[in-house]
Structure 1
Amino acid sequence: MGKYLVKSLLQMIPVLLLISLIVFVLVRVTGDPVALMLPESATEADRATLTRELGLDLPLYQQYGIFLTNAIQGDFGTSFRYGESALPLVLERLPASFELAFAAMALAVVIAIPLGIWSAVKRNTFIDIFISGISVLGKAMPNFWMGIMLILLFSVMLGWFPVSGRGGLTHLILPAITLGVSLAAQMTRLIRSNMLEILNQDYIRTARSKGIFELFVIGKHAFRNGLIPVVTIMSLQFTSLIGGTLITETVFAWPGLGQLLVSAVNTHDMAIVQAAVFVIAIFVILMNILTDLVYRLLDPRIKYS
């Protein structure tokens, strides 16, 4: 395991270098940062001065070298909107995004696991058809539409929950439901399909023939062996929740990384975009490594290479 971790961490270096090159190129093709940072009343002398200060008068390879050197030190530039270093601003928003992502994932797991198992056990019955239909509906509903409907019903009409913002548990419920329903629908269908395949295996029939309690057969023998695909989709979805909850955070004015990214893109605040992309990339890589370790715990036959 130690060799695998060292190898995986070393593999992060070329990946992050490639990401840094992509970010550097994209920032340069999105527009002139000098024109975005200065007011329309700025003179040519002002533009020339700022261009020299930012190093934009240097050749591109020198600009990339400076950018890479600063990025290694955690310096992605200063946000011209907030007037602060970009990386602390991004890290400041991460706890809110983690809170929302964990809540949505927990809700999805609580819903998906029992429904997926129940649907597989009751295959081709009314229960199975009903759960499958609800799963399709949950996956088909756009997050922005569901969020707006939840706000209209539970916040505006009933007044049970706050309309927006981050605070206590009541602020978290509606955005967590908005994100968790779609994820639960996807996980339910995956768990059902995995369980259907596993329940037809010989070792399941052998366990049943020995008179083992049905819940024990399903819980220990069947569900545990079907967890690896579920862990995979949970890992992928959790990383996407951290950096991809743009619409939901905007609808509920949730002060997370997604909302910060939306405002940064709208205002062409590329320092924040650069810092956010790097933070999300590092998080995705670390989550993939953690997922591989969980695979080994679930199935000892999996070997590290």
Structure 2
Amino acid sequence: MRQYLLKSLLQIIPVLFLISIIVFVLVYCTGDPVSLMLSDTATDEDRRILIAALGLDQPLYIQYFTFIGHLFQGDFGNSFRYDMPALPIVMERLPATFELAIAAMLVATVISVPLGILSATKRNSFLDVLFSGSSVLGKAMPHFWLGIMLILLFAVELKALPVSGRGTLAHLILPAFTLGTGIAAEMTRLIRSSMLEILNQDYIRTARSKGLLESIVVYKHALRNSMIPVVTIMALQTSTLIGGTLITETIFSWPGMGQLIIQAVNTRDMAIVQAAVFVVAILVIFSNLLADILYRVLDPRIKYN
């Protein structure tokens, strides 16, 4: 296991190298950065001074190596909107995004695990049809539509929950449910199919033949093994939860990275976009590594050689 982790960490290096190239190219995909930073009244001399200050008069490969050197220091440049380094701004918004992502995953888990188990143990029953249909509906509903409907119902009509902002548990309920519904729908179907496969295994029949209670067979023996593909989905959903909360955070004015990225793209504040993309990429990489470790915890038979 230790050798596998060391090998995985070494494999992260070329991935980070490719990510750095993508982040570096982002600046040039948006147009001339000097024109974005200068006002309409700037002179040619102002433009020349800014080009020299940014190092844009150097060959492209030198600009890239300069960028890499700054990257090792956590320097993505200054945000011209906030007039301060970009990375601290992104890191300041990261806890809010983590809070929403964890809450959404908890909502998805609380909904999907019992529904998936009931669908598998009550196969072809009314409950199975109901939960399967509900999961398809939950997957089909767009986040922005569901968020607006929840605001109209619980905030406008019932006045039970706040419309937007962050600060209390009440502020977290609507955005977490909006973001977690689609994930719950996907996880419910996956848990159902995985449980159906596990329940037909020989060791499950052996456990039942020994007279074990059905609840012990289902929750102790079958559920643990059926969670391995679910862990994979949870790891793949990390990018959706951390970097893909753009629409949800915008609808509910949640002060996280998603809202920050939207504002940065609209104002072409590329220092913020670069820092946010790099941070999200690192989080996704390490979430996949964590998923590999959880495989070994859930199933000791899995060996990493």
Q: What is the TM-score of this pair, normalised by structure 2?
A: 0.98
Write the mapping of 1:191-206 to structure 2, written as runs, cut at 5 A.
191-206=191-206
Tell me, yes or no, if the aligned pair for 1:243 and 1:280 is still in contact at 8 Å.
Answer: yes
Tell me, yes or no, if the aligned pair for 1:116 and 1:189 is still in contact at 8 Å.
Answer: yes
Aligned residue number for residue 146 of structure 1: 146
In structure 1, list runs of 5 or more residues that go unmatched: none
Deviations 1:241-261 (A, max 9, x none): 011100000000000011101
Aligned residue number for residue 26 of structure 1: 26
Tell me, yes or no, if the aligned pair for 1:8 and 1:289 is still in contact at 8 Å.
Answer: yes
- Deviation of 1:205 after TM superposition, in Å, equals 1.4
Q: Equivalents in 1 of 2:278, 2:291: separation in Å?
A: 20
Aligned residue number for residue 4 of structure 2: 4
Q: Equivalents in 2 of 1:159, 1:44: separation in Å?
A: 56
1:166 match: secondary structure? coil
Aligned residue number for residue 71 of structure 1: 71
Aligned partner letter, 1:104: A
- Deviation of 1:76 after TM superposition, in Å, equals 0.5
Aligned residue number for residue 131 of structure 2: 131
Tell me, yes or no, if the aligned pair for 1:105 and 1:238 is still in contact at 8 Å.
Answer: no
2:84 match: secondary structure? coil
Tell me, yes or no, if the aligned pair for 1:239 and 1:287 is still in contact at 8 Å.
Answer: no
Aligned partner letter, 2:125: T
Aligned residue number for residue 289 of structure 1: 289
Aligned partner letter, 1:60: L
Deviations 1:178-201 (A, max 9, x none): 011111111000000001111111
Aligned residue number for residue 271 of structure 2: 271
Deviations 1:247-280 (A, max 9, x none): 0000000000111011111111110111111111
Tell me, yes or no, if the aligned pair for 2:135 and 2:188 is still in contact at 8 Å.
Answer: yes
- Deviation of 1:28 after TM superposition, in Å, equals 1.1
- Deviation of 1:159 after TM superposition, in Å, equals 0.9
* Count of paired positions: 305
Match status 1:35 vs 2:35: yes
Aligned partner letter, 1:32: D
In structure 2, list runs of 5 or more residues that go unmatched: none
2:75 match: secondary structure? coil
- Deviation of 1:240 after TM superposition, in Å, equals 2.1
Aligned residue number for residue 303 of structure 1: 303
2:231 match: secondary structure? helix
Aligned partner letter, 1:14: P
Q: What is the TM-score of this pair, normalised by structure 1?
A: 0.98
Q: Equivalents in 2 of 1:298, 1:11: separation in Å?
A: 24
Tell me, yes or no, if the aligned pair for 1:135 and 1:186 is still in contact at 8 Å.
Answer: yes
Q: Equivalents in 1 of 2:249, 2:96: separation in Å?
A: 10
- Deviation of 1:239 after TM superposition, in Å, equals 3.3
Q: Equivalents in 2 of 1:213, 1:157: separation in Å?
A: 47
- Deviation of 1:44 after TM superposition, in Å, equals 1.2
Aligned residue number for residue 248 of structure 1: 248
Deviations 1:194-232 (A, max 9, x none): 011111112111211221100000011111111100111
Aligned residue number for residue 86 of structure 1: 86
Deviations 1:13-58 (A, max 9, x none): 1111111112212321211111111111111111111111101111
Q: Equivalents in 2 of 1:169, 1:225: separation in Å?
A: 33
Match status 1:99 vs 2:68: no
Q: Equivalents in 2 of 1:221, 1:163: separation in Å?
A: 43
Q: How high is the sequence identity, in percent, across the aligned residues?
A: 69
Aligned residue number for residue 221 of structure 2: 221
Q: Equivalents in 2 of 1:76, 1:124: separation in Å?
A: 55
Q: In angstroms, what is the RMSD of aligned CA positions?
A: 0.9
